[in-house]
Every structure is written in C-alpha cells, then in structure tokens.
Amino acid sequence: MNTKKFFITTPIYYINAEPSIGSACTTVAADVLARFHRLKGEAVFFLTGTDEHGEKVAEVAEKKGLSPQEYCNQIAPKFEAAWKLLDISNDFFIRTTDPRHEKVVSEFLQKIYDSGDIYKGKYEGWYCVGCESFKTETELEDGHCPLHPPEKTVWKSEDNWFFKLSSYVPEIIKLIEEPSTNYVFPEGKKSEIIAKLKAGVRDISVSRESVSWGIPAPWDKSQTIYVWIDALINYYSATQFLEGKADFWPASLHLLGKEILWFHTVIWQAMLLSAKLPVPLKTFTHSFYTIDGQKMSKSLNNTIPPQEMVDTFGSDGSRYLIATSFPAGDDADIGMARFKEKYNADLANNFGNLVSRVSKLAQGLEVKSNKDLGIDKEFEQLLAICRFDEAVKWIFDTYINPANLLLNQKTPWTKPPEDIERQEVLRSCIEKITIASFYLSPFIPNVADKVKYTFEGQVKPLEEGLFPRIK
C-alpha cells in the first residue's frame, strides 16, 4: 500500500529576535496539522527551524560582541527549547548555517544560473533592513517601512546578481488562477497576489556585495546569496540532505504569515520553476495577533513569551488557547485575561471536569475501546482551512456537551454501582469522552493520552485534575 505523504513547514524564524507568541502561533498550528495527519495514518514530515544569515543578524551579533555564528548558536537553541515546552512534534529543526543546507543552496543557485536566469545589474532603491528587502515607493508609509522604525529604511545602490523573476510572471499567474490548485490560500489572498503580479514585477537581486554573513554565490565568491533566497531553499534542502526524505518534495503545505506572502507564492515559485523542480501544493497565509487591541511590539513590551503561557496554562492548555485563537482570516485579538477565561470555561470547568466526574463514578467499570474511528469529514474540512476554533466547537457540540447533558439528566450517582442503567449511562458518557479526546489529541496530546489510559479496559482513577482551575 502506498502511504499518503504530508510535508508541512513553518517559516524558518529569523534569529534576530527570540521566540514569541507570534512564532508560537504558526508553530502550534503546524503541529496540530502534523499530528492530525499522523492520526490519519499518513507519513508526515514536519519541518521548522531558524533563518540565520543576513545583515540584520550580523548587526545584532556585533552589538553583543559576538561573531554571527556564536550569536546564532546562542539563539537557535532558545527556539528549540520553546517548541519543546509546547510539545511541538517537528521531525527536524533546520538551521540555515548548517553546511548541508549551504551546499544545497549553492547547487540550487547554480541550477538557476545555468538555466540562464541570472544576470549582473545595478540595484538602487529603498531597503528595509528590518525586512531585509527592497521596498517600492508605494510600499512605504511616510518614507519608511510600515513594519519597522524609520531608521531601518536606507537608500542602497550596489552591483548585484539579478534573477529574471519577471519572465515567470505569466506562468505564476496561470498557476495561481488554475481553479484546481491551492497554491495561494485562503481565496482572498489570490486576488491580492494576482493584482500585484499584473501591476508589473521587477527582477530581483539575489546576491549582496556588502553583506559578508551569507553563503557565497557559487559563480562569484565576492557576493553572498541574498538571505531570503537562502532561507526559502530550506524547505527543499531538508528533503535533500536528510536520509529518506527526498520523496516528500514538493511540500504539501507551507504555513506562513501575511507579511511573507509575496516571497512564498511568487519568488519561491519562480525559483523552483527556474530550477525545474515541482512547486509546493498549497500555501496557507494567516493574519497576525494583536494583544488587548494593540499591535504586538517590542517597545510596548506587550508580547506573551511561550514560557509565560506554559507556566500559566501548561503545555496542553497553551496549545489549545493558541490554536483556537489562530488568525485564519482577519487579525485576532488575544490577551492573558481572555485566555484565562477561555481556559477555565472550556478546559477546567467543562472538559476536564466532565472527565474527572465520569472517571470517579465509573471507577472499576469494564469498558470496550472504540474501534477504528473514521475521521469525520466536517472536522477534516475545518482543519484543512485552519479553522481550529470551529473544529474544536464541533467536538464540544458533538460529544462533550451531549455527554454533560446526559450525565446531568440521568444522575447516575443516585443509583448504586451495580445498577444497569447507571452503567449504561456511564458507558455512553465514556464513549463520547474518548471520541472527543481522539479528535482533541492534535491540540492537547498529553491530556488525550491520560484520557485514553483512564478509560482503557477497567476505568482507572485520575490522579489529579486534567486542567486545574486558574484564579
């Protein structure tokens, strides 16, 4: 039998900052999807990592009196540690300073060069060091990048190697407009990209003369590969240098934030077409979190570090809260106060309390385990469009709330343990709980394991509450 393959990626996080709720948002979402596809019996490859080259990294390292590599070696483990805290099940953590990645980047660029798509030119324009990219006049607000402070935008003029991005525009438009593809998803993003493509696309420089912290261009060692080009190739390079992963290319899904949509759907696609490689099957672009109505920012110091989330809600609680507030459409507003409210309402007072009541009443009762559960189509469809909030609501509406209702209507605790009706009611509640837990397992894997253990064979006592109430 040919096992279905699912290759999912997060963007690799730029290493000039530490892990935040923003990067946790994409990573938790990818993890939920990776776990769900494993649940379906697919062969899954889940990739995340860090983007470590470029001017900005060299700048930060210098300020700290470190070499860029020393600096990267200090920060990359912080990402790995944050994802461990959140029980992220990535199969590999890629770092773009890995020599194996660097080798694939060189080979990839050489292929593009050999296909005649690289030429030498002069680049002049406004450059945002924060984004590490050139900006057109229309992308600037009051003369600077809207995502970064004014001093990050500088006028640059240098001799670079250029990639013939413009010559791939017709092919990219065709691919995006093809109804059977999900290359740009959700739907609304398609028109945004198509409009930008039709407005005219300039070729892009793929090398830097003045940046030494990067991978040398294979045909001109005096220049380094532009950090974005190097970073995008990570998705492909990991499948090439890791054993047994070659079949996973093309990626099934690139999960990304809206600020990097252009790079992932236009530039990356053109690079792959030039290198004569298959393009990814789907990209999903999410919006941002705002925190208590405000943009997340370093100066406001209003971000929520993953450590603080886990200290408060535990790993499963944090994962649940992050996933169910995932900004699949518009920006989503989050905050610790609302997180506490939702945690108590959904997990402590509802699901956790239900499991604890039923496990106490049913202690010692013999239960049959659910046989192979087919995956519900509605639930599957909601995950495919990253509507984790709706998917979880479906679990509560279909299993958890009916179990609570049944329990409260039939009051099995008023009857003795040997009463047949009492046992039937409890078995029915247990069936609903274990199915709910099966569907919840991509979100709350540790609790799902405990639930499974509790209701396997003879019902065992729960040592402690699954989700202790938070004051």
Contact assessment for residue 383 and residue 451, using Cβ atoms and an 8 Å cutoff: no
Residue 128 or 275 with smaller CB distance to Zn ion? 128
Minimum gap (Å) between residue 255 Cβ and Zn ion: 21
The one among 64, 122, 148, 338 contacting Zn ion by CB under 5 A: 148
Minimum gap (Å) between residue 134 Cβ and Zn ion: 11
Can residue 147 be called a binding residue for Zn ion (CB under 5 A)? yes
Minimum gap (Å) between residue 20 Cβ and Zn ion: 17
Q: Which stretch binds Zn ion (CB under 5 A): 89-97, 120-128, 402-410, 413-421?
A: 120-128
Residue 127 or 213 with smaller CB distance to Zn ion? 127
Residue 130 or 445 with smaller CB distance to Zn ion? 130
Burial class (CB in 10 A: 0-12, 13-18, 19+), 60: middle
Residue 296 or 375 with smaller CB distance to Zn ion? 296
Minimum gap (Å) between residue 132 Cβ and Zn ion: 8
Can residue 407 be called a binding residue for Zn ion (CB under 5 A)? no
CB atoms inside a 10 Å sphere around CB 30: 25
Report residue 336 CA to chain centroid gap. 21
Nearest to 14 by CA among 6, 5, 23: 23
Residue 45 or 126 with smaller CB distance to Zn ion? 126
213-272: contacts with Zn ion (CB under 5 A): none
Minimum gap (Å) between residue 130 Cβ and Zn ion: 4
125-144: contacts with Zn ion (CB under 5 A): 128, 130-131
CB atoms inside a 10 Å sphere around CB 20: 17
Minimum gap (Å) between residue 127 Cβ and Zn ion: 9
| DSSP, res 201 | -
Residue 139 or 389 with smaller CB distance to Zn ion? 139
Beta strands in 136-260 (DSSP E): 153-163, 182-185, 204-205, 207-208, 216-217, 220-225, 253-257
The one among 105, 145, 291, 391 contacting Zn ion by CB under 5 A: 145
For residues 244-283, b (16+ Cβ closer than 10 Å) or e, as one string? ebeebbbbbbbbbbeebbbbbbbbbbbbbbbbeeebbebb
Minimum gap (Å) between residue 146 Cβ and Zn ion: 8
Report residue 135 CA to chain centroid gap. 26
Q: What are phi and psi of 418, to 5 degrees?
A: -80, -5
Residue 58 or 251 with smaller CB distance to Zn ion? 58
If you count them, how many residues does the chain have? 471
Report residue 449 CA to chain centroid gap. 23
Return the SS3 of 41: coil
Minimum gap (Å) between residue 363 Cβ and Zn ion: 59
Residue 134 or 379 with smaller CB distance to Zn ion? 134
Q: Which stretch binds Zn ion (CB under 5 A): 116-124, 145-153, 210-218, 239-247?
A: 145-153
The footprint of Zn ion (CB under 5 A) covers 128, 130-131, 145, 147-148
